[in-house]
Amino acid sequence: MAADSTPRILPTEITPERVYERRREFLTGSLALALCAALPARAALPAWKKTTVGGGQTANSWREITSYNNFYEFGTDKEDPAKNAGSLRTRPWTVSVEGECLKPRVWDIDALTRAFPLEERIYRMRCVEGWSMVIPWLGFPLAELIRQAQPTGKARYVEFITLHDAKQMPGQRWPALDWPYVEGLRLDEATHPLTLMSVGLYGRELPNQNGAPIRLVVPWKYGFKSGKSIVKIRFVERQPISAWMAAAPREYGFYSNVNPDVDHPRWSQARERRIGEFFKRKTELFNGYSDQVARLYAGMDLKKYF
Amino acid sequence: MRRDDKGVMGDDSAGLYPADIVTYLWSRFSRYTVFLLCLLPLARLFALGLGHGLGVNPIEFVTRSLGTWTLSLLLITLAITPLRRLTGDGRWLRYRRMLGLFAFSYGVLHLTAYLWLDQFFDWMAIFKDLYKRPFITAGMAALLMLAPLALTSNDRSVRVLKRNWLRLHRLVYPAAICGVLHYYWLVKQDVTLPVIYAAVLAVLLGVRLWWRRQKQATKKAG
């Protein structure tokens, strides 16, 4: 009975040789899986309403929108942000709403994203350099956040401040602009229903190079007015001096509304190249949003308040 | 062929060392090498274009690249004379005409890209640009100054124009200055690269002035 004393092994229990020889791959594979599970899961975006504004426009592709950016915090070439923005940590992240308001609050980004219903808006984006895109943003109207903060009677302007951390934003090691990046709007511009706080793009979270985790979008103004990676929103009494106004006051005004009749001192603004198109197209006053926003500037000399 | 092209073979064929062969080959083929090197930036643009490597704004990419190479080749051309003086080797001169012509050719392509791809021959817009925007004016001036130099770059012109040829070709200095200004004025904010070009040009023009002063000083002393 010698044969019976050896434990019986069913053929199904024997690891096939091919699998056995790949045991190391199996081990590294399961290790990688365990690591992934251990990483803090990036909070997915809550549900959002499909296209509420701007439907019917053909949007630029994900690649176009995420590989051609002006975000000097990551370098001054258009390709730099996509290359360098990996060093930005977007969690944990807070946005401090402060200044002339009754209810200042430091918002956690995930709480902020859930506080207001998200909606998709397909907006045209016109850069001061003469190119443009159509972008399907995901966000909420800034007006809702402002309503919660309850600005006081002294609040006439809103200031937006971008993160200032040269460790995360390598472009800030170099004084291309006076850091941190500051932008501003008049209170009525900030509460205009078109003004959006964006947290996503194409139904996904904002990529870092597009201003993650939260950015401003003001579609009737040149792109630089829409501050990215915002950490502070302040209600102020006096007109803020934006980063570009400080850098070149003759070239960049506070309003910076898209206007084909008011040239940049060094180049024409009459036409623009839509990324992906061969021929240039005519630039429209207020980037084509005149019907909605022209009343904000009634009686103003747009050449003087450029 | 000019005398400096003879190389070592003509002078002394008794002892032939590997180093001599290299020198000989270089003297025979260096001009072709430089020619092909000058074509590389253009070849690169074609390759990138075929492989969708020009980014999402290819017209801007091509225009900028042609512009940077125009300026780079112009500065390399201007470096030949100082190199010859510093090394005491006249053979540097062999590449100067070709480099200058390449600089002009890239400039013409750069202008074509602007007129055609950027403005699409909208002459009203182009003329407005020319008189309203200093950077366009400077760029156009630079290229206009280079044109007669390209036209008179042949040996016949040198013979016919004699001393005037040298005088005419001094236009390359203001052309280079306009080229650098063109770049400096067009950049939105980060002027690092234009400043580097300006610094190189300042050195190249500075050594010429310095040598001229020295020459005048020795003349006076003598």
Report pLDDT digits (tens) over B29-73: 888 999 999 999 999 999 999 988 899 999 999 999 999 999 999
Which top CATH class is A3-297?
alpha beta
Q: Inter-chain contact B128–A268, Cβ cutoff 8 Å?
A: yes
Interface residue B60 vs chain A (CB under 8 A) = yes
Please tell me whether residue B138 adopts helix, strand or coil conformation: helix
Cβ within 8 Å of A, B 120-149:
120, 125, 128-129, 132-135
Q: CA of B184 to nearest chain A CA: how many angstroms apart?
A: 11
Q: What is the DSSP letter of A101?
A: B
pLDDT higher than 70, residue B18: yes
pLDDT higher than 90, residue A93: yes
pLDDT higher than 60, residue A2: no
Per DSSP bridges, beta strands A94-99 and A230-236 are parallel
Q: Which chain A residues are within 8 Å of B128, Cβ to Cβ?
A: 268
Q: How far apart are CA B196 and CA B188, in angstroms?
A: 16
Q: ∠ CA(B219), CA(B199), CA(B135), 5° rounding?
A: 115
Average pLDDT estimate for B191-214: 95
pLDDT score of A261: 95
pLDDT score of A23: 59
Average pLDDT estimate for A244-255: 95
- Binned at pLDDT 50, 70 and 90, residue A9 comes out as low
Please tell me whether residue A305 adopts helix, strand or coil conformation: coil
Q: How far apart are CA B184 and CA B195, in angstroms?
A: 7
pLDDT higher than 80, residue B109: yes
Q: Which residues, 6+ apart, have CB-to-CB distance to A44 below 8 Å?
A: A205
Average pLDDT estimate for A178-198: 97
Q: How far apart are CA A193 and CA B177, in angstroms?
A: 50
Q: Which residues, 6+ apart, have CB-to-CB distance to A16 below 8 Å?
A: none
Single out the residue of A196, A185, A24 nearest to residue A118, CA to CA: A196
* Closest Cα in chain A to B182: A266
Q: Inter-chain contact B56–A67, Cβ cutoff 8 Å?
A: yes
pLDDT higher than 70, residue A115: yes
- The per-residue pLDDT of chain A, averaged, comes to 90
Selected for mutation to probe chain B from A177, A268, A272, A283 (highest B CB count within 10 Å) is A268
pLDDT score of A104: 98
pLDDT higher than 60, residue A170: yes
* Closest Cα in chain A to B122: A280
Percent of chain A with pLDDT over 90: 78
Would you say how long chain A is, in residues? 306
Q: Which residues, 6+ apart, have CB-to-CB distance to A236 below 8 Å?
A: A99, A100, A155, A156, A157, A158, A159, A184
* Closest Cα in chain A to B126: A268
pLDDT score of A43: 53
The pair of structure tokens assigned to A99 is: 């200044």
- Binned at pLDDT 50, 70 and 90, residue B76 comes out as very high
Q: How far apart are CA A120 and CA A46, in angstroms?
A: 12
Q: Inter-chain contact A271–B190, Cβ cutoff 8 Å?
A: no
Least CB–CB distance from B56: residue in A68, A129, A270: A68
pLDDT higher than 70, residue B1: no
The pair of structure tokens assigned to A272 is: 């623009």
Q: Which residues pair with A274 in a beta bridge?
A: A132
- Binned at pLDDT 50, 70 and 90, residue A1 comes out as very low
Q: At what angle do helices B58-87 and B18-50 cross, to 10 degrees?
A: 160
Average pLDDT estimate for A91-108: 97
Query: Cis peptide leading into A213, omega within 30 of 0?
Result: yes
* Residue bearing tokens 């909070």: A43
pLDDT higher than 60, residue A253: yes
Number of H helices, E strands in chain A: 10, 13
pLDDT higher than 70, residue A92: yes
Please tell me whether residue B102 adopts helix, strand or coil conformation: helix
- Binned at pLDDT 50, 70 and 90, residue B172 comes out as very high
Average pLDDT estimate for B171-189: 94
pLDDT score of A128: 96
DSSP H or E run through B78: helix B58-87
Average pLDDT estimate for B93-117: 95
Q: How far apart are CA B143 and CA B135, in angstroms?
A: 13
When mean pLDDT is compared across A55-64, A183-192, B96-105, the lowest value belongs to A55-64
Q: How far apart are CA A226 and CA A264, in angstroms?
A: 18
* Cα Dmax for chain A: 108
What is the separation of C-alpha A204 from the centre of its chain, rounded to a whole number of angstroms? 12
* Residue bearing tokens 């499909």: A50
pLDDT score of A3: 46
Q: How far apart are CA B125 and CA B138, in angstroms?
A: 17
* Closest Cα in chain B to A276: B56
Q: Which chain A residues are within 8 Å of B133, Cβ to Cβ?
A: 266-268
Q: Which residues, 6+ apart, have CB-to-CB distance to A154 below 8 Å?
A: A100, A235, A237
Please tell me whether residue A116 adopts helix, strand or coil conformation: coil
pLDDT higher than 90, residue B205: yes
Predicted-assembly ipTM surpassing the 0.90 threshold: no
Q: How far apart are CA A192 and CA A217, in angstroms?
A: 11
pLDDT higher than 60, residue A95: yes
- Binned at pLDDT 50, 70 and 90, residue A13 comes out as low
pLDDT higher than 70, residue A196: yes
Q: Which amino acid is at A97?
A: V
Q: How far apart are CA A292 and CA A288, in angstroms?
A: 9
Interface residue B62 vs chain A (CB under 8 A) = no
Q: How far apart are CA A184 and CA A177, in angstroms?
A: 16
Single out the residue of A198, A254, A240, A244 nearest to residue A99, CA to CA: A240
